[in-house]
Amino acid sequence: MTDVWSLVHAARRSLADDLAGLAPGRWHEPTLCTGWDVEHVVAHLTAAASTGRWPWIRSIVLAGFRPAVHNDRRLRAHLGSTPAETLTRFEAVVAATVAPTGDTAAYLGEVLVHSQDIRVPLGIGTEPDVEALTAVAEFYARRDFTVASRTLASGLRLTATDGPFRAGDGVPVSGSTLALVMTMAGRRAYLDQLDGDGRAVIIDRLG
């Protein structure tokens, strides 16, 4: 778990560094998260790094067990008055080890996936470390948690072309570890980076 937290911290630091010189206007450009701009996603990551078990439970209860409402309220609590302040708040939690549960790989996945949600539309070429992505891919193939990744990958044989990740026994689909992780997280932007008959299955499942 300590090793996974170190990967979380490195992923947060990498994103903060990528955003340090971002022009103010670009903070309001759309991301791969429908309805959220860059600043919203960063504030969401700050909220995730600041919310332990009981505050999370209280928040989701007050939101009527509606995750979208819960997430929107939490992120708005961590928005700054300017993008620079929002980034400062995120930088303050880079080394945090706060999470609602002990599923650290899931929270690593949240940072990695949301980082790409921001980077891809902005044209930032930084890619996460394959070791970190492999930890997330293995978790996503095992469990539905914050995303329905296991359900999406059911009946498929997943093979990373750039690392050790292998999972499943069925229709083959291959690609970089990043493409597999992002696809299991429901991001259609990475579908063109996949090969194999399983790609058509995933496209159908993503609707």
Q: What is the pLDDT of residues 114-160, one digit of tens each?
A: 999 999 999 999 999 999 999 999 999 999 998 999 999 999 999 99
Tell me, yes or no, whether 170 and 90 share the same domain.
Answer: no
Tell me, yes or no, whether 63 and 146 share the same domain.
Answer: no
- Cα dihedral 9, 84, 99, 206 sign: negative
pLDDT of residue 51: 87
Q: Give SS3 for 33.
A: coil
Tell me, yes or no, whether 139 and 118 share the same domain.
Answer: no
- Out of 122, 153, 179, a domain closes at 122
Whole-prediction pTM: 0.93
pLDDT of residue 57: 74
The Cα 203–Cα 186 span in angstroms is 10
pLDDT of residue 56: 67
Tell me, yes or no, whether 152 and 58 share the same domain.
Answer: no
pLDDT of residue 153: 97
Which residue range is the domain that position 146 belongs to? Answer: 130-206
Tell me, yes or no, whether 46 and 140 share the same domain.
Answer: no
CATH code of the domain containing 96: 1.20.120.450
Instruction: Name the one residue in this structure whose structure tokens are 């790609």.
Output: 199
Helices 104-122 and 2-19 sit at what angle, rounded to 10 degrees? 20
pLDDT of residue 64: 81
Tell me, yes or no, whether 23 and 101 share the same domain.
Answer: yes
Of 68, 83, 79, nearest in space to 35 by CA: 68
Positions in the chain whose pLDDT score sits under 50: none
Number of domains making up the chain: 2
Which stretches of the chain are DSSP H helices?
2-19, 38-48, 53-62, 67-77, 83-91, 104-122, 130-142, 149-153, 177-184, 198-206
Contacts of 24 (CB under 8 A, 6+ apart): 82, 83, 84
- Out of 122, 138, 156, a domain closes at 122
- Out of 93, 122, 151, a domain closes at 122
Count CB neighbours of 17 within 10 A.
Answer: 12
pLDDT of residue 173: 98
